[in-house]
Amino acid sequence: MTVVDDILAEKDFEKIRKETETNYREYLNPFALRMFKNAGLDVIEGRREGACVWDISGEKYIDCVTGAGIFNAGRHNREITDALKKALDVYDMGGWISIIRERGLLAKKLAQITPGNLKYSIFCCGGGEAVEVAIKLARGHTGKTEIICMENGYHGVTGFALPATGREVYKKPFAPLTPGYIHVPFNDLDAVKSAITKDTAAVLLEPVQGEGGIRPADDSYLAGLRKLCTENEILLIFDEVQTGFGRTGKMFCAEHSGVTPDIMVLAKSMSGGLYPISCAVFTEEISDFLYSHPFIIINSFGGTSLACLTALATIEYIEKNNLPERAVQMGKRFMEGLLALKKNFPELVVDVRGKGLMLGIEFPEDSIGPRMACLLKKNGVISIYTFNNPKIIRIMPSLVITEEEVDFVIDAFDKSLKEIRAQEAGRNMKGAGK
Amino acid sequence: MATSDEIMEALADFKEQCNGNKRLRRMQRDWTKVLHYAAVDTGDKFTMTVREGEILSNEKGAAGTPDVIIEGESETLCNMFWGDINPTQMYLKGEIKVKGTQEDIMRIDAITAIIWPEV
Ligand SMILES: Cc1ncc(COP(=O)(O)O)c(C=O)c1O
């Protein structure tokens, strides 16, 4: 018997809830707990399966957040779990200063499935860390310093990634940050053109801005960026942390536009939702930097045996079940439902947009995003507004979501919007009566 | 319904509580804002000026350019400044409207969480 047996054996959910809330309050982040509770998002995750998560009390929800794209292959995917279990029976993580077979196999697989001439990989654990690698490679390879990034972009909060994130609130308390980052409006080619200098090393962007409010870049914009970068010997970096691994209806979002970046950043769903791993995949030309500097972009836990085997099993699962195509089909079904909501609630739904199963619904004011999240939970759906733009609720379920579950989510949106409409009407009547 | 004097009284207490709380002042030291409060039922307006976490003044009327506008029934605003209600819960019910950023509403909630942890 270990501590794990004891923890997993506890079934008294009231006791678990109390203990967990106390631990959050006393040892983690008391204000975050308060925010979760205020927003009605105080689900303590118990069982997880497919597109669903159950609160420890047994209440079932459809998870439309999925950790912003961690669980493309489904919550607690059994096949991938079994693969990881097998790996655990044979291996530990593996040493970082040693040669690991699984690391090579995964790098080769990524070279095969990523678009164009992307070929070499450096592995890390989190998305932010992989963005850092991309920026270091860009500076190291080009010998130039400036990184052009996008307003409202999100690339994580670690050292070299944080300055790229396009919102002051994440950065202000930690100044001074690494210099050399310039932010321009998203989807505006002229803005990038004007920002380019002789020192520009790279342009970094998400092909669909996630936290910025589910905003897809236009194909023509991406093609324009590609041309601009090539002409000026600037690297193009796509952060596909949220959009990768089938989310938008292709294995990688870059495939929609046919534009291949010089570096692609991957994380989240690469882990199968089971074992953290992330990476920067880049061209052979950029890999030249590694000849002169083979051991300066390093870490202890990136690309371990266990992580690589899990990632290989995840990719196999995504390919075998053709999850990108599933994202297209289910995305279509969602979009039909969302467009109907837009028609039925014109005063509340300003826009619906997205690609595949990376969808957003925009409301006319900030407060409606958080209010909707609250009501959706009451109606059996977990969703949350995008961090850089609370007007938008994201819909990013697991790609294994069924048609019935899609319809359930649309119905939950319908009910929640009706409640908002009733709240607003109640207030207007109160106002008129005064 | 709360009168404008009643709201001013609640605001004065709120100011005293905030400014007298060392922990809060340290936490909020990067918060410099002009806030307007508008009572939608009575039409009364108030201006709160905060500099580096210190509430410098509360005045009747809407003065200066606000960073944040908070609207609600006079009673709701009054209760909020007395610490009788949780502002985020009111916000999420649509009882309080905030024009400004999500961070600012969280800051206001953080202030009340420190002064009145049980609310
Ligand atoms: C587009 C994008 N890039 C990078 C990151 C950072 O990833 P991580 O939180 O794993 O560091 C995120 C996280 O949500 C993201 O959405």
Q: What are the pLDDT digits (tens) for A103-125?
A: 999 999 999 999 999 999 999 99
pLDDT digits (tens, 9 = 90+) for B33-79: 999 999 999 999 999 999 999 999 999 999 999 999 999 999 999 99
Q: Which of residues 175-204 of A touch B (CB under 8 A)?
A: none
> What's chain B's average pLDDT?
92
Reading the block at residue B32, the tokens are 């410099």
Domains and CATH numbers, chain B: 4-113 (3.30.1050.10)
Q: Please list every residue in chain A whose beta carbon sits closer than 8 Å to the beta carbon of residue B112.
A: none
Interface test with B, best of A167, A363, A367, A421 (most B CBs within 10 A): A367
With cut-offs at 50, 70 and 90, classify the pLDDT of residue B107.
confident
Domains and CATH numbers, chain A: 1-45 (no CATH), 79-320 (3.40.640.10)
Which residue is listed with tokens 């292709």?
A250
> What's chain A's average pLDDT?
96
| Cβ of residue A244 lying under 6 Å from some atom of ligand 1 | no
Contact A169 B103 (CB under 8 A): yes
Contact B93 A371 (CB under 8 A): yes
- What is the interface pTM, i.e. ipTM, of the complex? 0.85
Write the DSSP symbol of residue B40: T
With cut-offs at 50, 70 and 90, classify the pLDDT of residue A430.
low
Reading the block at residue A56, the tokens are 């420890």
Separation in Å, CA of A287 to nearest CA in chain B: 41
| Average pLDDT, integer, range A86-111 | 96
Chain A, nearest residue to B100 by Cα: A366
Query: Residues B73, B95: contact at Cβ < 8 Å?
Result: yes
Nearest Cβ partner for A366 among B30, B73, B102 = B102
Q: Which of residues 57-76 of A touch B (CB under 8 A)?
A: none
As a whole-number percent, the residues of chain A with pLDDT over 70 amount to 99
Question: How remote is the CA of residue A433 from the centroid of ligand 1, in Å?
Answer: 48
> What integer pLDDT is reported at residue A129 of this predicted model?
98
Residue of higher predicted confidence among B112 and A377: A377
CA–CA dist A268, A67 (Å, integer): 8
With cut-offs at 50, 70 and 90, classify the pLDDT of residue A433.
low
Reading the block at residue A395, the tokens are 């819909």
Q: Is A172 on the interface with B (CB under 8 A)?
A: yes
